[in-house]
């Protein structure tokens, strides 16, 4: 069965693991908290939390077409499914650093920021993108936010227009030599000897979903753990009915699925129908 977000949510709710650092140190000898968070995300999508590493790798192979690195998004691509970006922060309201990659509503095969192996890992043109933001304090997972890019980010043309304006502005400076680059720009031969160059890189960031969506949910930092998921309603309904039914059966005072309206990232005057899924451990 193809994995998806709803399967991952069900695994979090039915078997939450908060001390992820200790759990993965004991099970897989992973000492880095960031790596532990990424493996936890892979495991909840693959139903592989209790498996040894060899069995996990088989599950990953069966469910994922691509596993990336920190410098080239995305971190994970589900076979014939969504792409995933995982971000670890240590403060509930800290902004999310995206570095050289601007925010994305979706991920496109034509993007110069993704690797050739990512482009060729399966037949695809574009994928929906899930941003997963984990708050880890003293090696304890305190919060997870799952938010789709099309709820969170404007169309790529918005960001590319700014980037291209800066790049074209550089070309108007007299007596400089520019190189082709995936960054904003590179200026060569700045000094009389022609041995100095300047790389101009974007350092993109985006406000934390806790702040962006404070009009639909409020954060209680006293909770032991909080899960928040935001997804457009039509995307939610596109998942298999069996997965929706399995998730909706879990509804109780601590786990809720509610209909909400959110501002369109491209035009705040337009409200989009969405589903907000929440789970708390008090």
Q: Backbone phi, then psi, for 131, in 5-degree steps? A: -90, 125
178: part of which helix (H) or strand (E)? strand 177-178
What is the b/e burial string over 43-67, where b = at least 16 CB atoms within 10 angstroms of the residue's CB?
Answer: bbbbbbbebeeeebeebbeebbbbb
Rounded Cα distance between 230 and 209, Å, is: 9
Rounded Cα distance between 233 and 257, Å, is: 11
Model pTM score: 0.92
Could you list the pLDDT tens digit for every one of the 282 residues in the chain? 689 999 999 999 999 999 998 888 877 666 677 788 999 999 999 999 989 889 999 999 999 999 987 777 899 999 999 999 999 999 998 999 998 889 999 999 998 888 999 999 999 999 999 999 999 998 899 999 999 999 999 999 999 898 888 888 877 777 778 777 777 888 888 888 888 988 888 889 999 999 999 999 998 989 999 999 999 999 999 999 999 999 999 978 899 999 999 999 999 999 999 999 999 999
CB-based contact 19:140 (threshold 8 Å): yes
Token pair, residue 182, equals 């995936």
């Amino acid at each position: 069965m193809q994995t998806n977000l709803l399967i991952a949510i069900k695994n979090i709710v039915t078997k939450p693991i908060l001390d992820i650092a200790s759990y993965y140190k004991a099970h897989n000898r992973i000492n880095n908290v960031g790596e532990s968070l990424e493996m936890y995300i892979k495991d909840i999508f693959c139903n592989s939390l209790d498996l040894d590493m060899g069995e996990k790798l088989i599950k990953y192979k069966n469910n994922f077409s691509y596993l990336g690195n920190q410098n080239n998004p995305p971190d994970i691509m589900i076979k014939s499914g969504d792409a995933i970006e995982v971000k670890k922060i240590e403060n509930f309201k800290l902004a999310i650093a995206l570095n050289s990659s601007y925010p994305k509503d979706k991920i496109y095969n034509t993007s110069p920021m993704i690797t050739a192996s990512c482009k060729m890992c399966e037949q695809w043109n574009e994928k929906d993108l899930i941003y997963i933001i984990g708050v880890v304090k003293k090696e304890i997972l305190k919060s997870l936010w799952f938010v789709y890019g099309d709820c969170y980010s404007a169309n790529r043309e918005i960001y590319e227009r700014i980037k291209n304006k800066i790049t074209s502005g550089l070309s108007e400076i007299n007596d400089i030599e520019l190189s082709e680059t995936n960054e904003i720009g590179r200026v060569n031969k700045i000094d009389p000897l022609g041995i100095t160059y300047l790389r101009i890189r974007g350092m993109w960031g985006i406000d934390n979903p806790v702040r962006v969506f404070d009009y639909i949910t409020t954060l209680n930092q006293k909770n032991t753990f909080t899960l928040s998921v935001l997804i457009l309603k039509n995307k939610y309904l596109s998942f298999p009915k069996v997965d929706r039914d399995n998730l909706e059966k879990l509804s109780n005072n601590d786990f809720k699925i509610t209909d909400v309206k959110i501002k369109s990232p491209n035009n705040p005057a337009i409200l989009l129908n969405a589903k907000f899924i929440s789970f708390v451990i008090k």
